[in-house]
Amino acid sequence: MSESLARRLIDAWADQVDAGFILGDPAAPIETRLIPDPASGVTFRFRWLPHRDLRTDTAALERKGILNPDRDESALYRDPRDPSGRHCFLCPSNIRMCHPLEELIPIRAASRAWFAGANFAWLAQNHFTVIAEDHVDQSFDSSVVETMLDLHKQTGGEFRIVYNGAYAGATIPWHLHFHISTDPFPVESLDAGRVHSYPLPIRVFAASSALDEEVTDYVKGWEERDPEHHRVNMLVAERDEGPAAYVFLRDTRVIIARNKGLMGGWEVAGDFAYDDRRHDFEAADISAVRAAFADIVPPDARS
């Protein structure tokens, strides 16, 4: 049972590649620059993923059959708070209308219904977005941590589970979702004794029976200090034969790095993906990493 969700997802990913739903070739070598950080001991990673440049190119996506050219725009649900007026990219009914090639895999986790859909503009191998069946806000409560731990457990620890707080990496803050994939993140190698040397405020919670309460209390404490601005990014990943939670403190006022753009869960975990800004990709070094993180340290966490 515990391994079966991982197998289902990995098989579905391969099927979606075969069906032509996945941009680029996930099996091809990725141009990568590895940046060891002597202070934290973490090796940061810059990757060149040019296929992602197509994700907003409607004509190209239609040509490839990834986006249905005959979709009925008037039937698509739009959140009235979205200033761009776009339809919600994460509502299952919208996905079925817009992306007929996309396989939506039903999942139960933490007593809620979800669907996993392969991310055609993938950032990692086996990259799925796990979306709530219902159109509900991306806001933090105890069920967020419970869901992350449940997804981790159901995939036998093979998948990494990422949560981005609303307006702090999540670009669709009105539909609850997670990102999951099988690629290890650089931060997973962070030694417990060097957490204070990581270039962004981070707490690492080791596996324990009270992990969900500990993480929930910590995140609530941070968000309640300034509910308007304080958010987190979180990663749940296997560490020492159990799930560990990595919590990154965020502030909605500082989410852009001048040499990267929007900093979300991938970047704070040490993985910088580029599909344009070739100059910034080529300028990858430890000072670039530190500069990117320095731009997003929350004002209330600066020492």
Nearer to Zn ion, 140 or 198 (CB): 140
Q: Is 144 in the site for Zn ion (CB under 5 A)?
A: no
CA distance 288 to 48: 16
Considering only 51, 55, 78, 135, the residue that binds Zn ion (CB under 5 A) is 135
Q: How far is the CB of 80 from Zn ion (least distance, A)?
A: 12
Q: Which two tokens stand for residue 164?
A: 């981005």
Question: For 274, phi and psi rounded to 5 degrees?
Answer: -120, 140
Considering only 61, 67, 91, 245, the residue that binds Zn ion (CB under 5 A) is 91
Q: Report the site for Zn ion in 158-177 (rule: CB under 5 A).
A: 175
Q: How far is the CB of 128 from Zn ion (least distance, A)?
A: 16
Q: How many residues does the chain have?
A: 303
Q: Is 78 in the site for Zn ion (CB under 5 A)?
A: no
Of 35-43, 90-98, 239-247, 263-271, the window that binds Zn ion (rule: CB under 5 A) is 90-98
Is 43:36 a contact under the CB 8 Å cutoff? Answer: yes
Question: What's the distance, Cα to Cα, between the start and end of the chain in Å?
Answer: 46
Q: How many residues bind Zn ion (CB under 5 A)?
A: 5
Strand partners, 32: 47
Nearer to Zn ion, 25 or 134 (CB): 134
Q: How far is the CB of 97 from Zn ion (least distance, A)?
A: 12
Nearer to Zn ion, 71 or 229 (CB): 71
Q: Is 88 in the site for Zn ion (CB under 5 A)?
A: yes
Smallest CA-to-CA distance from 66 within 132, 17, 127, 123 is with: 17
Alpha-carbon torsion, ordered 259, 263, 268, 274, to 10 deg: -60
CA distance 117 to 105: 7
Q: Which spans of this chain sit near Zn ion (rule: CB under 5 A)?
A: 88, 90-91, 135, 175
